[in-house]
Chain A
Amino acid sequence: MSGMDFRVERGELVSLLGPSGCGKTTLLRIIAGLMDADDGAVVLGGRDISRLPAHRRNVSVVFQNYALFPHLTVAENVAFGLRARGTPKAQIDGPVLEALALVRMDSFADRPISALSGGQQQRVAVARALVVQPDLLLLDEPFSALDRKLRETMQVELKTLLRDRGITAIFVTHDQEEAMGVSDRIAVMNAGKIEQFADPSMLYARPASPFVMDFVGLSTRISGKVSAVQDGILTLSTAYGTLSAPGDLPIGSAAQIGVRPELISLGAGENALSITLEDAMVLGSKTVLHGRAEDGDRILCELPGIRTGLSRGESVTLGWAVGDTLVYGGGA
């Protein structure tokens, strides 16, 4: 792993997003002190904690499967961190109940862990991690064990909770929707490197690389070559004629051209392309067109609302604005 420099502000919610094997869990374990980095430093609140063992970092972790202590009750699990820090007995019950109330688990205090559902276990894990008032909260795929509906509820609940309490937290996830939903900023990781660290809208609108563009949201991609540059607008020659895009690449270099499907509309625009329609899926809130350009490139277009009268095999012209066109140097 290399090129991992990033900085999280106090009270900020940040996600480490990437496909499995990209190194995001490793990075989380390094931050938590559960693993040593060969090189580099972890600095928390101006203090270099790289050489501190995990138990002296004041960094709490919510593990993927929660890692609750099976031999302890709900309340004992939450009290664990306080006991470990040598908190006097009298000062344990209060914060524990408070933390359980925060995640609406106070009525389960004396239950064994095995009697809890997945969502309840997650809440207990969060309460256990928060009760020690960590400087940083790390969450490793915290929602992956929950079903889709519960996951969305928990995401909103957790985000609200962390925001209200001003907690600094880093989520690790491979789910881009989850990352965009819960975080202020997202670090997109690929093959042991951070490709882009930005807020969700920036990430989506201006992905820094074809990888980020592909990983965050859907897109259409076409290869081309820079044929002219004028006033920051590139003219690109492609198999489907010339397309324009804002950018800065040398003339003659290969380029990847991309556009988000919801920015494409029917009929010619500043950029235009002819496709043969392969499918038109009416999804209610939107209609998705799957098409193929002459040279075989797959083109994706999302139209708002319900569109009818588009049939398979039909030839359609699509258009979009130059300003919405993304361009990256390099071949496919």
Chain B
Amino acid sequence: MNRITLLAVPALGFLAILYALPLLMLLAKSVSTADGLSLAEYRSFFADEHNMRVIWRTLRVAALTTLLALVIAYPTAFAMSRAKGPWLTVYLVAMVLPMSLGVVVKAFAWSILFRANGALNDALQWLGLIERPVRMLFTETALVVGAANVFLPFMVLPIYAVVRQLDARLPEAAASLGATPMFRFFNVTLPLTLPGVVAGSAFTFSLAVSMYVIPSLIVGERQQTMSMLIARSFLYLRNEPLGSTISAVLLAIAVAVVVLSSIAARRLGARQ
């Protein structure tokens, strides 16, 4: 082991003790029964339609959250990369400061905005776009919008890091070769910023697929996600094998996302 590798020891030790070890214990619990090793928990978990719906909802919400965050973050990253001096500071502070505000506080603020006599409904009615208040609280849309808001910095910053390094002359070279703005975007800008998009999406998806506080506050118990199932299993049902099983399934999804996206990022990066 060389000296530089030694620098990774604190982080590796930290992860091993606080992440890998408890996780292994969790996985062990999910397959151990009184009669030895068994996949029975997994079988019964997947056999239950309710659980399948929860998995599907969790994945759908995470995907939509990632998509919404991406659509907002991508142009933002470009604006930030062009921003100079104080403006860049303004952008970065605007990006990071809301992270210091707890999700609970945000959720209460949103309920003021989204409720039936809230600001958004009032504005839409005033504009004549709707006749009576639309229900916005406790909808999946509200959840996706809220989650995208919370996770936005995790999408913006990786894209910004890549966009900032993008050679501004490449789109210009493309233009001088006769490429329309659209052709430039899809053939130069997008492929070159894709590694940032992949990284940001992987961050956001991993966070969104495992979020707990945000859905419990925004949509409540009627639209459970996998994390809410896990919490319920451990805390209320006191069913550790079930909780461990769902945790393992969620972990498998998260690992798959991270592995696939890092393969994708490497593929894209290899050409450069």
Q: Which residues of chain A have a CB within 8 Å of any CB of chain B?
A: 32-34, 53-61, 63, 65, 67-72, 80-81, 83-85, 112, 114, 128-129, 132, 138
**Additional A-B contact list (16), CB under 8 Å, known A34-B172, A67-B170, A71-B272:** A54-B172, A55-B176, A55-B181, A56-B178, A65-B169, A70-B271, A80-B174, A80-B177, A81-B179, A84-B174, A84-B177, A84-B179, A84-B187, A128-B177, A132-B178, A138-B176
A65 to B173, CA, bound (A): 11
Instruction: Identify the closest chain A residue to B180 (Cβ).
Output: A55
Q: Is B183 an interface residue (CB 8 A)?
A: yes
Whether A112 lies near B271 (C-beta < 8 A) is yes
Whether A63 lies near B169 (C-beta < 8 A) is yes
Whether A67 lies near B180 (C-beta < 8 A) is no
A69-B170 contact, Cβ under 8 Å, with A55-B180, A80-B187, A114-B272: yes
**Chain B residues near A56 (CB, 8 Å)?**
178
In the complex, which of the residues A67, A70, A71, A85 contacts B178, with contact meaning CB atoms closer than 8 Å?
Answer: A85
In the complex, which of the residues B176, B181, B183, B271 contacts A59, with contact meaning CB atoms closer than 8 Å?
Answer: B176
Instruction: Identify the closest chain A residue to B188 (Cβ).
Output: A69
Instruction: Identify the closest chain B residue to A68 (Cβ).
Output: B173
**Chain B residues near A71 (CB, 8 Å)?**
191-192, 268, 271-272
A53 to B174, CA, bound (A): 12
B216 shortest CB reach to chain A, Å = 43
Instruction: Identify the closest chain B residue to A125 (Cβ).
Output: B173
A141 to B133, CA, bound (A): 64
**Chain A residues near B177 (CB, 8 Å)?**
55, 60, 80-81, 84, 128-129, 132
A–B Cβ pairs within 8 angstroms, 27 of them: A33-B176, A34-B172, A34-B175, A34-B176, A54-B172, A54-B175, A54-B176, A55-B179, A59-B176, A60-B176, A61-B172, A63-B172, A63-B173, A67-B170, A70-B271, A71-B191, A71-B271, A71-B272, A81-B177, A81-B179, A83-B183, A84-B174, A84-B183, A84-B187, A85-B178, A112-B271, A114-B272
Whether B175 lies near A55 (C-beta < 8 A) is yes
Q: Is B49 an interface residue (CB 8 A)?
A: no
A33 to B183, CA, bound (A): 17
Q: Which of A34, A57, A68 has the most CB of B within 10 A?
A: A34
**Chain A residues near B170 (CB, 8 Å)?**
67, 69
A162 to B176, CA, bound (A): 18
Instruction: Identify the closest chain A residue to B169 (Cβ).
Output: A67
